[in-house]
Structure 1
């Protein structure tokens, strides 16, 4: 297997790992642990596992610049503490599958932020992709029914906020990554996020649940699988030379598996219309990324012609 294929496999594994966040989070919250505490557990244990990993592999990854610390504090508050808080509350109120669907609307907000902050062009391809994503999310959430009877409006709001805070991550980290590796920013982002959550999470109360081995196992898995391990495989896959235009397509397995877990293992509501909505959201990612790849190839071909 060549390096590129190994990269695809790594990113696919990362997507599978991310898809379990709802499963473990739901298991822990079902035992009476508050969403704020689940968010703290993910950040704290994720940070701990990544520190151990870097200590074994490359201790230099634990070094961070002064600017990196500043960005990590912002990322820790907005993109880690706030995101995890919103996402686990959305899972608690809406269920795993619906929370995952709302989270996957983040490309809509990322496109808006990129346009406003970095003046990135909204091409026809991007607009089509965003429309398809919105329609898919609408179908996946409502099941094709226009009324929202039985759906928590607060839950929907929180779910959308999770997508917004998730979309802020690449926006804020774009500058920070010029001086620091993604793993380094992630470690300190997790750390500052966990610190910010201490007052609301009340970590000492979590110790009361440690005696339950099943619950303790779910907590450990939450910190390892969809937190540390997912990012280790993700950054490892990118380092193999995989084109960034393909990364999103491969990692989109996260949404599909998250929804399948919600429908099959947890027993959440399922319908063909909802499945169609999920598939449309995945298709929207494929549309925009293929368009970007075609644009890149076009520019590359023209550049070669000019050089000749």
Structure 2
């Protein structure tokens, strides 16, 4: 029991670390870097830290199958490069808290993709979960007001794109995980994501900013905490015997912490109705995972968390 409790704690800390993406990226963008450059930093430094960790602790994690390598190229392009660029642009456009809410509409798209790709049933629990997720997102994004003139349609569209690319991760990962470890796919998808980012991020300019200690600190923090360290803690938590469905619920604290960071650290607008929307989305996640009954869907829970 103590071992499993430790696993719960490690997964919760991983969720907390994932929630800091908005904090560090916002600091970097306010310092003059664009979202593409921040995405490059997260992928590049996250990859480097994971390679160093694996080389020291578990060298076998650096071995990947040919099929896994091919999947990593696709995942690196769609679920790492495109995801990070769209999510970070959403943060810049609509703020950390709204971008996090839009990202967590991904179960809506995952349900559709799973139905198309794997013929998974959409049962009553899923339907209820998706309805709550949709209502919660509307409340959290609009603040309960239907004044469309105050909304940023481009920012919202980009945020929804981040949710779509987020939801594609377990779909693309499913077959690759048969022959490869989750962390191995993360390392190689980060690597290919970094390569795809080079033409649009101007890495030379990025590295030249490292002379500024504030920028350097936020770069290292972004690559280490919500990238490398979060994955390491999450995978170690799973290894303690924590059920994948339970891990999915615990790791969703990321959404809560992201909202708190946006409201109380970055200073974004707080409204009670937005908090209610957040609670709807948390309830949606719990209902969806509690309603999981077959192993195939449970297996996708771990993949779903491996995206950020």
Q: What residue is the counterpart of 1:304 in the other structure?
A: none
* 1:163-174 → structure 2 map (5 Å cutoff): 163-174=163-174
Shift of 1:295: 10
What CA deviation, in whole Å up to 9, does each residue of 1:253-285 have, x standing for no partner?
100000110000000011000000011101101
Deviation at 1:149, TM superposition (A): 2.2
Match of 1:268 in 2: 268
Q: Which residue of structure 1 aligns with residue 292 of structure 2?
A: 292
1:303 is matched with none
The whole-number CA distance in structure 2 between the counterparts of 1:293 and 1:251 is 19
The match for 2:41 is 41
Partner residue of 1:197? 197
Aligned to 2:58: 58
Pairing 1:129–2:110 present: no
| C-alpha distance in 2 between matches for 1:295 and 1:79 | 24
- C-alpha change, 1:180 and 1:264, in structure 2 (3 Å) is same
- Aligned residue for 2:11, secondary structure, equals helix
**Residue 238 of structure 2 corresponds to which residue in structure 1?**
238
- Give a deviation string over 1:146-167, Cα, whole Å, max 9, x none: 1222221100000000000011
Distance 1:241 1:273 in 2: 37
Aligned to 2:155: 155
| Matches of 2:272 and 2:294, distance apart in 1 | 32
How big is each residue's C-alpha offset from its partner over 1:271-304, in whole Å with a ceiling of 9 and x where there is no partner?
00000001110110111111225999xxxxxxxx
Measure the CA separation in 2 of the matches of 1:255 and 1:293: 24
Q: What is the rounded CA distance, in whole Å, between the counterparts of 2:213 and 2:46 in structure 1?
A: 19
The alpha-carbon deviation at position 93 of structure 1 amounts to: 0.4
Q: 1:17-67, CA deviations, whole angstroms, 9 ceiling, x for partnerless residues?
A: 000000000000001101000000000000000000000101111011111
Provide the rounded CA distance (Å) in 1 between the counterparts of 2:195 and 2:32: 22
Tell me the residue number matched to 2:77. 77
Q: Distance in 1 between matches of 2:25 and 2:44?
A: 14
- Report deviation, 1:207: 2.1
Q: Structure 1 residues 189, 295: CA separation in 2 closer, same or farther (over 3 Å shift)?
A: closer
Q: Determine the structure 2 residue equivalent to 1:11.
A: 11
Q: What is aligned with 2:303?
A: none
Scaled by the length of structure 1, the TM-score of the pair is 0.94
In 2: Cα distance, 1:216 partner to 1:13 partner: 23
- Does the CA-based 8 Å contact 1:8-1:242 persist in structure 2? yes
> 1:43, 1:194 within 8 Å by CA — same for their partners in 2?
yes
Structure 1 pair 208–294 and aligned structure 2 pair: CA distance change class (3 A)? closer
What's the secondary structure of 2:150's corresponding residue? coil
Q: Tell me the distance in 1 between the aligned counterparts of 2:79 and 2:131.
A: 25
TM-superposed CA distance for 1:239, in Å, is: 1.5
Counterpart residue number, 1:214:
214
Unaligned runs of 5+ in 2: 297-308
CA distance in 1, matches of 2:53, 2:294: 37
Are 1:245 and 1:293, in contact at CA under 8 Å, matched by a contact in 2? no
Structure 2 counterpart of 1:181: 181
Q: What do the CA deviations read for 1:75-101 (whole angstroms, capped 9, x no partner)? A: 000000000000000000011000000
Distance in 2 (alpha carbons) for counterparts of 1:93 and 1:85: 12
Structure 1 residue ranges without an equivalent (≥5): 297-308
TM-score, length basis structure 2? 0.94
Measure how far apart 1:208 and its partner are. Answer: 2.6
RMSD: 1.3
Paired residues, number:
296
CA distance in 2, matches of 1:175, 1:28: 36
What's the CA shift for 1:2? 1.8
Rounded Cα–Cα distance in structure 2 between residues aligned with 1:265 and 1:168: 31
